[in-house]
Amino acid sequence: MLLGAFGTKRKTEREVSSGKKAQPPQYELIVPSPDPFFPPHHAFRWAMLVFSSVLISRVAIIAFMYLATKGQEYTNDAIIWKDLSEDPLQLIAGWGTFQAQYPPLQPILEALIYRPIQHWLGDFIALRGTSALYEAAGAGLLAVLLARLRVNVLIGSLVLATLVFNPIGWVTSALWGEDEAMFFTAATAVLLLIHKNRPLAALLVASIAVVAIKIFFLVLLLPMIVFLPWASLPKRAVVAATPIILIYCVSFVGNLIFLGHINFGLLAFEPDNDFAISFWSAMTVLLHWPPPSIQRPVAGFLSLLAGISICAAVRYHRQSLRFDQLALLSAVLMMWVLFLFYHINPEYYIFLFPFCFVLVRTPFDFFFFTALGFVCWGVNYAFAIRNNVNSPNPVHQKIIAFYTAHVPININALHPLMLIMFAVLCAVFAARMTVLLWRNINAVPTTN
């Protein structure tokens, strides 16, 4: 069975006798439309239009922020990416220890765009321009996928509105210049390869992305290993693991040559969850329990257990999945991992963008996802406002002055309020999509 194939339509006896066109029930995911929003024969044209729309909107925001701040940087991530981009081989070659928790190949992907822009326009625009270009590329690839899926006008409109207006996108790229936008591009490319029935290429791209973009690509590899219709499960697992092992071996050999020891910074990375937005951050704020010293191992175990349990439950009911079912399963796994993992930042929620065609199928889900995006970044801004009251940075002081003048909520109360609100919204959205997936898996037969 090809993952790109979709089930046939079914009509009830009442619909057949009345001659009315059958309407897909709510648990149907993607039913190809005879009048799609993105016509397949105009896929490239739509991809360029979506790419341009997203990029132009981000460039406008970058320009506004540059003028408003007079080009003065307000995020420490600029320092990180300046260092990594100026020596992009330091992690894969093994001679660098700075920010070694990043994947070995990630600085190379950042430097490909960052360095040319930096040469002409400086660090401030280079950081955000790099992220915006990767985000726009992901949006263009998603438009191609939607054309091939033949999504209807409603889903196409909601997805396009999500890409342009949801703050998970434009805040992550244009305001903060976060590298997580790369995930959007690579994950969408993986989905395209799966839909084109190229499972081996999809596995390899996703595996390389683990060591080139984010380790969270492991979450996507899990359902791919379990359900992709290629070779045996052990062979799929070996193919997925091989690039990861090889790349880290190269890095470790470099460590031994240049440093005299292996430097696996990811294992030593233990950030404080005070500025994170996970379930554990909310527990800390609400109950001051459990102690941070045990949150990290417990969170890792629970997020891993959630992913394996959901995959196992789906596998028990279905030996194979349609493409739309696999996409929703991947999105559900990612949502639960983001909710349960120890240290999650708001920019990580752009990981859901490649799957928005199964997450925003209705206006309700579109508005819910948009609200979640505003609250998601609202947590971070509340944290920044609370912790920068005495900051010497004039940009920080302008933001705090605007807040105190227009928002009647105490600065110290805003962060816990936003954090609790986000935890609730995130849990509800994850649970809603899990129920949708479960209903679909049980109610819609798989076409073989």
Full-model pTM: 0.90
pLDDT of residue 14 exceeding 50, the answer is no
How confident is the model over 377-425, as pLDDT tens digits? 999 888 888 877 777 777 778 888 888 887 888 888 888 899 999 999 9
Mean pLDDT of the chain: 88
Report how far residue 100's alpha carbon sits from residue 299's, in angstroms, rounded to the nearest whole number: 22
| Residue 2: predicted pLDDT | 42
pLDDT of residue 25 exceeding 60, the answer is no
CB burial of residue 320 (10 Å; 0-12, 13-18, 19+): middle
Query: Between residues 400 and 131, which one has the greater pLDDT?
Result: 131
| Residue 431: predicted pLDDT | 97
What are the phi and psi torsion angles at 273 (to 5°)? -90, 10
How confident is the model over 180-218, as pLDDT tens digits? 999 999 999 999 999 999 999 999 999 999 999 999 999
At 12, is the pLDDT very low, low, confident or very high (cuts 50, 70, 90)?
very low
Report how far residue 320's alpha carbon sits from residue 187's, in angstroms, rounded to the nearest whole number: 21
pLDDT of residue 448 exceeding 60, the answer is no
Other C-beta atoms within 10 Å of 372: how many? 21
Query: Between residues 359 and 96, which one has the greater pLDDT?
Result: 359
| Residue 11: predicted pLDDT | 40
Mean pLDDT across the stretch 218-222?
Answer: 96
Evaluate whether 181 touches 113 at the Cβ level (below 8 Å).
Answer: no
**Dihedral of alpha carbons 371, 377, 382, 383, sign:** positive
Other C-beta atoms within 10 Å of 439: how many? 14
Tokens standing for residue 296? 């990290």
At 10, is the pLDDT very low, low, confident or very high (cuts 50, 70, 90)?
very low
Three-state secondary structure call for residue 76: coil
Angle value at C-alpha 214, between 232 and 204, nearest 5 degrees: 30
Identify the helix (H) or strand (E) that includes residue 246.
helix 233-258
pLDDT of residue 15 exceeding 60, the answer is no
